[in-house]
Chain A
């Protein structure tokens, strides 16, 4: 099972990496589909915890896959997952720059950039919905999610404040019995 899971992690993450326009957040639905639905490596709740942890930890949010790999298969899982998400796209980037340095000002590049933008937006919104369903089991969770999105929209405050607020609300809500423990 363990070896199988490690191979599965490698396939899932290296495939996703090839489509990772817009960074790690845009890949969340694909990670959820692969890890929770297709392979059953983790529960939806465990998935949501990894997402939360990745928000607290610094670094490119791509490293969320390291956390997921850790949850599924410990240290080997972490190493394989990180390798799978980092190395294939880096190799592509390396060879593209080597061979296409002269094409960098080409008009097609800006067309590709403009064209990919709506894709990224759609993926981000999908990430929000999928992870919201994974993380929230009751109304309080959804209120917290939407509240955070609204506050982040209107204020320039450091996101860490929202993380801290989320922690306090979670504690209080559980203590008062408003929120169910999974």
Chain B
């Protein structure tokens, strides 16, 4: 499994690199950064190896960042590496979240803070909404994915059905529609 891996990467280095990635990750794009550091700067694994992991990491449940930390850590140093990378990538954000939560309880007493948070909440929702419309514009131009996306939106967003049954029904249907049909043909024909 590790035949192409050059000399052992010290666990300390894995920790340091993933801690930095985690602590400075902001919003999205973290996987891109992880790629630049682990593949480009450090040369820990080849481009192909990283992308192969990413392909699976995006499909599996869990955040891409944590999945990729587990993957890269495992490629480098097996189980121990996976554990160290996962712990490191979460440590920074975890303490920042505690700091934010603690400060929030204090800050809520400052006059005006509450109203500012109301405004921030409204703007934050806009950012979530925009991610959805961007995805819809890029990925759901064809009929079948468009119908699936709309169906999931109505079931979860309007009817407020639970996630698990909706995902268990819509997921397999959508994957079946995307299944490559016959040799040399792939993707969606609908």
Contact = CB atoms under 8 A, between A and B. Distances in A.
B30 A119 contact: no
Contacts, number: 373
Interface of A: 15-21, 23-25, 27-30, 33, 37, 48-49, 51-63, 66-67, 70-71, 78, 82, 86, 88-90, 92-94, 96-98, 100-101, 104-105, 107-132, 135-136, 140-142, 144-150, 152-153, 159, 162-163, 165-171, 173-175, 179, 181-182
Q: A-B pairs with the 7 shortest C-beta distances?
A: A170-B119, A59-B93, A148-B126, A122-B152, A89-B62, A166-B123, A126-B157
Given A67-B101, A104-B55, A145-B123, A30 B163 contact: yes
A163 B120 contact: yes
B63 A24 contact: yes
B117 A115 contact: no
Nearest to A143: B122
A118 B1 CA distance: 34
- Most chain-A Cβ atoms within 10 A of its Cβ — which of B23, B55, B151? B55
Contacts of A20: 61-63
Interface of B: 1, 22-27, 30, 52-53, 55-67, 70-71, 74, 79, 82, 86, 90, 92-94, 96-98, 100-101, 104, 112, 114-136, 139-140, 144-146, 148-153, 155-158, 160, 162-164, 167, 170-171, 174-180, 186-188
Contacts of A122: 148-153, 155-157, 170
A93 B71 contact: yes
A181 B112 CA distance: 11
**A interface majority secondary structure:** helix
B22 A59 contact: yes
Nearest to B142: A118
A140 B142 CA distance: 35
Given A126-B156, A171-B112, A97 B71 contact: yes
A109 B59 contact: yes
A92 B62 CA distance: 9
Contact of A182 (B1, B64, B118, B177): B118
Contacts of A63: 90, 93-94, 97
A12 to B, nearest CB: 11
B63 A23 contact: yes
A142 B178 CA distance: 36
Contacts of B59: 21, 109, 112-113, 116
